[in-house]
Structure formats: C-alpha cells, structure tokens
Amino acid sequence: MTKKWIIAGIFLSCIVFAGCGKIFKEKNQTNSEEIMPDKYIVVGFSQLGAESDWRSANTESMKSTFTNENGFELIFEDGQQKQSNQIMAIRTFIQQEVDYIVLAPVIETGWDTVLQEAKDAGIPVIIVDRMVDVEDESLYTAWVGSDFALEGARAGEWINQFLQVKKIDNANIVNIQGTLGASAQIGRTKGLREACKANANTTLLTEVTGDFTQTKGKEVMESLLKKYDDINIVYCENDNEAFGVIEAIEATGKKVGSDIARGDIMVISFDGVKKEAMDYILKDKITCIVECNPLQGPLVQDIILQLEAGEIPDKFSYVDEGMYAHDDTVSSVVIDGVDYPITVVTQELLDVRAY
C-alpha cells in the first residue's frame, strides 16, 4: 500500500469514528461535553400530563431518579392528557431503541396495539400510577401504583362512620370525579357508590367530572351550587378539584367545614401531596384526605435494576398510603378486616412533614 493510501485510510477512519460518536450522543440526548460510551440505561417515560400537584410530584420523582448520576438517560414526554400523544411517544421510544419504556396511562383502555409493538421490539414496559386494561397481561412487565379501589373504600367508610358518630341521618353528597376512565377515577367513584348504597342516610345527588383540575373543579361546583341548594358533602377525587370546589362554595357565601348540622358543606378528597392541602385540613376546609403517594421513581428503578440483573420483578407493586383528618371523630376505618388508622393533622405534624 502506498503512503498516499495509508494517509487516506487514517483520514477516513477519523470521519467514521467522529460520526459514530455523534449518533451515539444524539440517541442518548446528552448535553454533556463528554461522549459517554455505552453506559446509560435509556428510559423513555410517557407521562400523561401536568394536571395536578400529584402529577408534578410524580414527574419530579421520575426525573430525580432517572439521572445520569444514577446511570440512566431519561427521555421524558408529556402527553398533555391525550392518549394519542402517549401512543405517539411510545412509538418514538421504540424507534429510538430505548432500553425500557415507562408509561403513566391517562385512561385504562386502548393500549393493546402499541404495547404489542413494544413487546415485538423486545422493549420491556413498566406501567406506573394508573392501570392499563389489556387482553394480554404479558404486554407489560410490571406495574407500580396505588390501590384506587381501596382508597375509595376507605374514603366511603370514613364518611359513613363520620355521619354515624355525628348522628346525621340525611346527607346529600355530590361527587366531583376525576378524568373518566382513569383508574383513580374508577376506584374512587366505586368506593363512594358502594358506601352510599350501604348507608340509607346518604343520597348521592350526582356525579360529574372535574378532570382532576382546579379550574374544572371550580367550574362544575359553581353549576352544582346553582342546581342544588342542599349539598352537605362534596367528594372530590383529588385535592386540586377540592381547591376549586372550595373557591366556588366560598364565593356563594356558604361555609366550608365539617359542621354539617349547622349548614357547613364538608369537603373530602384524595392525594395530600401539597402543603396547601394539609393546611386546609388544619383549617377544616378539607375534613379528610386519603393519601395518594406519587413517589414512584425509586420503585421503578428497583424494577429496572432487577431486570438488568436477570431477575423477575413482582408484577404488581403497591405504594404505602395513609389517611388524614381534621379531628378524631373517626379514628380508623376497617376494610376487609384490615384496620387503617387516621392521622389527625396538627401544626406540629405539618412542621416536620417533608413535601
């Protein structure tokens, strides 16, 4: 080989290597100056939106878990409450050949086709938060989230016990539901319906969706207050709806609180993520909150690390959740033989609670 060809060869190799580096960097979307060799576990996360404080905390938990320092490269996509956006995101993750797909699905149904595509591509899918309702459960590897039916049952039982202790024999309830078709809505709605069915002293006046947002919660409550002048309890399927509901009630000059016998409208809700919600319990603006734990990032990380080690993770993992109330009218609720204690919110508790 002549000297000319050797020089041309070296020159060509340089171009090829430089090109490879660029492709790798783009695939991993790293901004770091250094081009990392095949190091990170690439996770594509399709979050459903940013509708609530719970959601923000959930997103934050994922982002602070799947960091370069922890050995991950996270590709985050916000579905903006649209299933079609989430399906598009999953298809993009498949094209990008990510190592794992994490999906927080907006509703339960309609995932079979796209999850089959991920399975065919050999990419494990981990579902977080809400469930997917698919024909073939092997379409996802694992699920991490809350027992929404239990949350609803706990809230329903709390209401019934509260009414019994306070000797209230006629309570009118309205339900501000979450996003229709979402597991959190399905489980929480079921809990209330069953509790009302079991208690002849309650009337479920109506159910209407507030889409888990403060704005919609306020809007629907304004129209309910025009339609019904005898609402005693508002069951909000998350705290953000409760914030909107409280605004709407107070704007009419009515009082929010647990003294139903004196005309208060009692608000109860779910999540307990933000300090504002806990402050509202202290003031008896929200009388009871069934906690919903958004800190799922570390649990998903454990699942991925198990898979990396060739182990088989549990198919379903439930997060721990408590219950908070303004006072000790109800000290615990029993569901299926299990006793769930209720924590009375005090200023001291709020001072030490991490948010």
List of residues contacting ligand GYE (CB under 6 A): 51-52, 54-55, 129-130, 146, 182, 184, 212, 238, 270-271, 292
Cβ-contact 281, 350 below 8 angstroms: no
Measured between alpha carbons, how far is residue 351 from residues 174, 275, 278, 279, 320 in Å? 33, 10, 11, 11, 21
What is the amino acid identity at position 248? A
323 strand-pairing partners: 290
Q: Are strands 343-344 and 288-291 parallel, antiparallel or unpaired?
A: unpaired
**In whole angstroms, how close is the CB of 351 to ligand GYE at the nearest point?**
24
Task: Considering the complex, state which of residue 264 and residue 291 has its C-beta at the smaller distance from ligand GYE.
Answer: 291
**In whole angstroms, how close is the CB of 177 to ligand GYE at the nearest point?**
11
Task: Considering the complex, state which of residue 210 and residue 257 has its C-beta at the smaller distance from ligand GYE.
Answer: 210
Task: Considering the complex, state which of residue 94 and residue 144 has its C-beta at the smaller distance from ligand GYE.
Answer: 144
Residue 264's SS3 state is: coil
**In whole angstroms, how close is the CB of 211 to ligand GYE at the nearest point?**
9
Q: Distance between CA atoms of 66 and 298, rounded to whole angstroms?
A: 9
**In whole angstroms, how close is the CB of 47 to ligand GYE at the nearest point?**
11
Task: Considering the complex, state which of residue 73 and residue 211 has its C-beta at the smaller distance from ligand GYE.
Answer: 211
Measured between alpha carbons, how far is residue 317 from residues 37, 299, 303, 313, 328 in Å? 33, 8, 10, 9, 31
Task: Considering the complex, state which of residue 71 and residue 181 has its C-beta at the smaller distance from ligand GYE.
Answer: 181
- Locate the DSSP E strands across 222-315: 233-236, 266-271, 288-291
**In whole angstroms, how close is the CB of 185 to ligand GYE at the nearest point?**
8
**In whole angstroms, how close is the CB of 146 to ligand GYE at the nearest point?**
6
The DSSP letter of residue 34 is S
Task: Considering the complex, state which of residue 130 and residue 216 has its C-beta at the smaller distance from ligand GYE.
Answer: 130
